[in-house]
Amino acid sequence: MVPSEERPIFVATHPRSCSTAFERVFMTREKDLCCLHEPFGDAFYYGPERLSSRYEGDHNDAISDREKSGFHESTYNSVLEEIEKSGKEEKRVFIKDMACYLVPPSDHPTFENAVLTPSVTPSATYNGNGVLTTRNPTVLPLSILKRFQFAFLIRNPRKAVPSYYRCCIPPLSEMTGFKYFMPNEAGYRELRILFEYLLKEGVIGYPSSQTNGEANEEHSVSKNVCVIDADDLLDNPKEIIEKFCEMTGLEFDEKMLEWGAHEGCENFNKWKGFHEDAIGSSGLKPRTKKNIRTREEEMQEWVEKYGEEAAGIIDRTADENMEDYEFLKQFRVISVLTLSIGKCITYHPPQMAIIVVPYPHIVISGCGPA
């Protein structure tokens, strides 16, 4: 495996998770980072190996949409070649992308039995040691997934789903090109599937009480689970970004939290309409007001904005993804500004606990079985 400090950072997420604002933080590091914006979406939506049904078909509209994108010949292998080429610029690669681009969607024939994309080397189904891997729910071989240092970004689906719905209806759909809402694009199921597979294969791991947070050959700090919740990011950006940098081997600089509006956003053009707020932003500061609403208030707002039928679709889609969100949320990096000092929280799946201590600002350290 490539040393952790050299591996590309791969922030896996789902749509409308505040991920582009998160990405803009790291775009300020242009001297030592090469940021790639959602590269696998090219192959997922438009290329000959596409998994999405959004632009599927041989009718003129679908063909025209794929060709106009400029990515109608993109394959998963060509995306990997682009990533490898970017890594040769003496900069570390930082990727922000959707996990759903790597896992077949629910309306795809390989939904329950993913197969590697044709452009990927067949021999890569082995783990690099000549041992056949367990069932892989993604379209990339484990040997390739191991090349990345993964982190995860999540957001409550009752915030992310209505935001995504808005991008798929007029007037915004005229910019995005997404002319209808597809509930299976919410992305939480695929994010959890990827997370659990990487955990099972040891690509990421639970914090270990044996290492006291120190890296060694058997358990590197860089392999620890790193999950960021958008609410925590928006409440305490400095602390969350600082801990993220520590966990991914980057040097934190408070200047990363400020940038010029519209600067360096050319790569966002392929997804017009989705990133306008992030493009026009000039920094990441703690939000001064948190809008907390009841389900009834949320439904009322959605009905007023989109109509009763659409509000029902949004509500059902959010609820369908809540279990996966809550599962991933158990592993999130937590700020000491969020929790009282010394409070012990249990991670239910591994039955491990974390202790939040004064220094560093955000700490995840194993303390044995809870």
Whether 119 and 49 have beta carbons less than 8 Å apart is answered as yes
Query: Please, which pLDDT band fits residue 46 given cuts at 50, 70 and 90?
Result: very high
Type of residue at 192: R
- Which bin fits 368, alpha (ψ -120 to 50), beta or left (φ > 0)? left
Query: What is the pLDDT, as a whole number, of residue 224?
Result: 80
Give mean pLDDT, residues 101-115. 94
Between the alpha carbon of residue 76 and those of residues 43, 58, 272, the distances in Å are: 6, 21, 22
Residue 217: pLDDT above 70? no
pLDDT over 70 for what percent of the chain? Answer: 80
Helix (H, G, I), strand (E, B) or coil at 332: strand
Whether 297 is in a domain gets the answer no
Type of residue at 34: C
Helix (H, G, I), strand (E, B) or coil at 224: strand
Give the sheet arrangement for strand 352-355, strand by strand.
344-347, 352-355, 366-369
Beta strands in the chain (DSSP E): 9-13, 33-37, 92-98, 149-154, 227-229, 344-347, 352-355, 366-369
Query: What is the pLDDT, as a whole number, of residue 358?
Result: 29
CA dihedral defined by 245, 335, 153, 157, rounded to 10 degrees?
-170
Between the alpha carbon of residue 82 and those of residues 79, 85, 195, 266, the distances in Å are: 5, 5, 24, 17
Whether 355 and 255 have beta carbons less than 8 Å apart is answered as no
Query: What is the pLDDT, as a whole number, of residue 359?
Result: 27
End-to-end CA distance of the chain: 32
pLDDT digits (tens, 9 = 90+) for 332-351: 987 545 544 334 333 334 43
For 76-102, the DSSP string reads HHHHHHHHHHHTTSSSEEEEEEEGGGT
Whether 355 is in a domain gets the answer no
Query: Please, which pLDDT band fits residue 3 given cuts at 50, 70 and 90?
Result: very low
pLDDT over 90 for what percent of the chain? Answer: 62
Whole-angstrom distance, CA of residue 155 vs CA of residue 19: 9
Whether 101 is in a domain gets the answer yes
Query: Please, which pLDDT band fits residue 175 given cuts at 50, 70 and 90?
Result: very high
Number of domains within the chain? 1
Mean pLDDT score of the chain = 83
Please work out, in degrees rounded to the nearest 5, the angle formed at the alpha carbon of residue 16 by the alpha carbons of 14 and 18: 100
Whole-angstrom distance, CA of residue 233 vs CA of residue 244: 10
Please work out, in degrees rounded to the nearest 5, the angle formed at the alpha carbon of residue 267 by the alpha carbons of 60 and 231: 105
Whether 246 is in a domain gets the answer yes
Type of residue at 223: K
Whether 104 is in a domain gets the answer yes
Whether 298 is in a domain gets the answer no
Residue 77: pLDDT above 80? yes
Query: What is the pLDDT, as a whole number, of residue 367?
Result: 30
Range scoring the smallest mean pLDDT among 92-101, 271-280, 289-298: 271-280
Range scoring the smallest mean pLDDT among 104-118, 148-162, 203-217, 280-294: 203-217
Query: Please, which pLDDT band fits residue 43 given cuts at 50, 70 and 90?
Result: very high
Whether 232 and 335 have beta carbons less than 8 Å apart is answered as yes
Helix (H, G, I), strand (E, B) or coil at 258: strand
DSSP state of 252: P
Give mean pLDDT, residues 219-224. 57
Query: Please, which pLDDT band fits residue 214 given cuts at 50, 70 and 90?
Result: very low
Whether 364 is in a domain gets the answer no
Range scoring the smallest mean pLDDT among 265-274, 311-320, 354-363: 354-363
Whether 365 is in a domain gets the answer no
Rg (CA), the chain: 20
Give mean pLDDT, residues 10-18. 97
Query: What is the pLDDT, as a whole number, of residue 156?
Result: 98
Query: Please, which pLDDT band fits residue 131 given cuts at 50, 70 and 90?
Result: low
Would strands 344-347 and 352-355 be described as parallel, antiparallel, or unpaired? antiparallel
Domain around 227: 9-163+182-289+325-339
Query: Please, which pLDDT band fits residue 9 given cuts at 50, 70 and 90?
Result: very high
206-214, long-range: CB < 8 A, 24+ apart? 206/347, 206/350, 206/352, 206/366, 207/352, 207/354, 207/364, 207/365, 207/366, 208/366, 209/352, 209/365, 209/366, 209/367, 209/368, 210/366, 211/366, 212/365, 213/363, 213/365
